[in-house]
Amino acid sequence: MASPFRDAADLLSEPARQTFELRWSRYLPDLESGLRAVYGERTGEIVERLRPILERRAAERSPELRCLDEARLLTPGWLQSPTMIGYAAYADRFAGTLSGIVDHLDHLEALGVTYLHLMPFLEPRPGDSDGGYAVADHRAVRPDLGSVADVESLTAQLRRHGISLVMDLVVNHVAAEHDWAVRARAGEQRYRDYFHILADRHEVDRWEESLPEVFPDFAPGNFTLDDAAGGWVRTTFNSWQWDLNWADPDVFCEFVDLMSWWANKGVEVFRLDATAFIWKELGTSCQNRPQVHDITQALRQAMRIVAPAVAFKAEAIVGPTDLVGYLGTDEHSGLVADMAYHNALMVHLWSALAARDSSLAEVALRRFPDKPTGTTWATYARCHDDIGWAIDDPDARDAGLDPVAHRRFLSDFYSGQFPGSFARGLVFQENPATGDRRISGSLASLAGLQAALEAGDPARTADAVARILLLHTAILGFGGVPLLWMGDEIGTLNDDSWACDPDHAGDNRWVHRPRMDWRAADEAREHPRSAAGRIWWGIRHVIGVRRATPELDAAAETVVLPSPDTRIMMWGRDHPRGRMVQLYNLSEQVVWFPMHALRQELGDRATELLSGFQYDLTPAVLRIDPFQRLWFTTRGLP
């Protein structure tokens, strides 16, 4: 097949050509290495196909984006800076349309946001689309949100405000209505090869023997019989989400061109959704296969040639040992994703708050592998999804807990069923066979604000606000890119009307996905003593401190320190500018903390950054108030 990019080299200006050749020479070996591990003898053919694609997209890249490329090459640690503050939202629920987001940039700027993740905005299938993750057209925007031109205009506006746009790119599957799937059903062999279509049930059963079910309640199994396609289609998530066959080099080339095309529209970070599932191998769980990292490496090097300003974020909610692989270990070091979600941090923060005990978090997080050099975590307390209690059994046992009982306790606690619980959450996807019960609910409702306001109890309200600030301070202090979920900055509660929408009635995660209440946001800014105001101004203050704190550069690791009091979570960070120790009181109690634990880390004096006070650490004990947060540093002290 003749390539539409055959004459692309002629489109590059001489300076652009020189730049392209330098990058091609620099990144080609790593590109070929990733390709060869997957495609073997076909590597040379694929490279030959890729070059004109990349040349054409390089020629189309705007002067402004080329300038951004050079700036990022000069500052390779841009994602690791403590000035990076993330915010995630659905575009329609935040501002109605993509163009409407511009009207609320003042809100994002006031928070200090530099990284904006808009949930899926590509055109999805009609009806249920898994929240937009069933993409029907990769080169079109959901019509009610706007157009591709609106994305390009928005990214330009965001860049002028120092904000990078993050885009979801689902790499495991497409909607059954996608043109590729339509053409596969029509019998075009090229597009049938884009998918996994099995001829008979016996073959399906062989695969199913080793495959777990992602959504056993409403999408059992991993294959769907499609009469028009003449076989069983691999559908890991839903019957209308067709898994792609990355063993076909055509799929790889399609995604290189898609990424380059969207990068030229101004997208700066690709969130690679469901990346852990992309490689299928009979007799395995088809998750976390080595080829996933080879493919990601090849994609990453292709993007470094055409758009080095772009970063990759891996959406891989997997165990700690597997997770670091998505950031690049061994032969993939420095060659795959720049960022990954620290799901374990989120889980253990909520667990510690419910138990008022840091023991389990201390055991689990101390065992967590260090991230590879040059990469960063995305830290968060809440996101668009449910919370699953991903707690390893050995960690729980070593913390003196029964793992099954503790997970049951957390589900009971955050669904409000446990006696004395402050939380108002909903059980999501209960599995009677395994006892697994995940939790939906907004951060504020899970942290006790809804129950406190309903009771009209000022003391309980104060505790709930303090918990909310503690959670945000922890993700801001851990190191990495902290991600705030839309509305959490003003204490948005559960949306009890979620079930009234027929498109959402079967999925209670929409309880924590309400539309942004801009009147409430205005009131929070104008009334700093209200609950919402205390949250808004409290988070803003911590963000301001973080931005001026070099110790929070993600190049440094957070080390979980042994705390002499289990009600206190204790973290340390080493940086050339100073040693940092953070303390978090997880309880409603005043804690008299043994000062020797601080002295042995910091010496006799330290500055507490959130208050700005200098502390004498020579007394025997330190009073730590309920839910108090303390960031100590030795920076600037003789």
Query: Coil, strand, or helix at residue 224?
Result: strand
CA 180, 185, 186, 191: dihedral to nearest 10 degrees? 40
Q: DSSP label at 564?
A: S
The CA distance from 345 to 581, in Å, is 17
Nearest-angstrom CA–CA distance, 473 and 569 = 12
Angle, CA of 239, 245 and 248, to the nearest 5°: 155
Strands (E), 280-360: 311-314, 339-341
Active site residue 315: yes
Query: Can you tell me whether residue 427 is helix, strand or coil?
Result: strand
Report the candidate in 348, 343, 381, 374 with the shortest Cα–Cα distance to residue 363.
348
- Picking from 416, 424, 418, the residue whose alpha carbon sits closest to that of residue 406 is 418
Residue type, 87: Y
Alpha-carbon distance of 201 to 426, in angstroms, equals 37
Q: Are the C-beta atoms of 304 and 24 separated by less than 8 Å?
A: no
Write out the H or E segment, with its range, that includes residue 70: helix 63-74
Q: Give the active site residue among 55, 315, 357, 565.
A: 315
What is the C-alpha to C-alpha distance for residues 145 and 276, in angstroms, rounded to an integer?
Answer: 29
Closest alpha carbon to 448 in 526, 356, 543, 376: 356
Rounded CA separation 589/158 (Å)? 43
Percentages of the chain per state (helix, strand, coil), in multiples of 5: 45, 20, 35
Asked if residues 150 and 165 have their Cβ atoms less than 8 Å apart, the reply is no
Contact 58, 302 (CB under 8 A): no
Spot the catalytic one: 273, 362, 553, 565.
273
Identify whether 144 is a catalytic site residue: no
Q: How far, in Å, CA of 569 to CA of 362, rounded? A: 8
Dihedral pair phi/psi, residue 427, rounded to 5°: -75, 130
- Which tokens sit at 186? 């029509």
Q: Which positions are annotated as active-site residues?
A: 273, 315
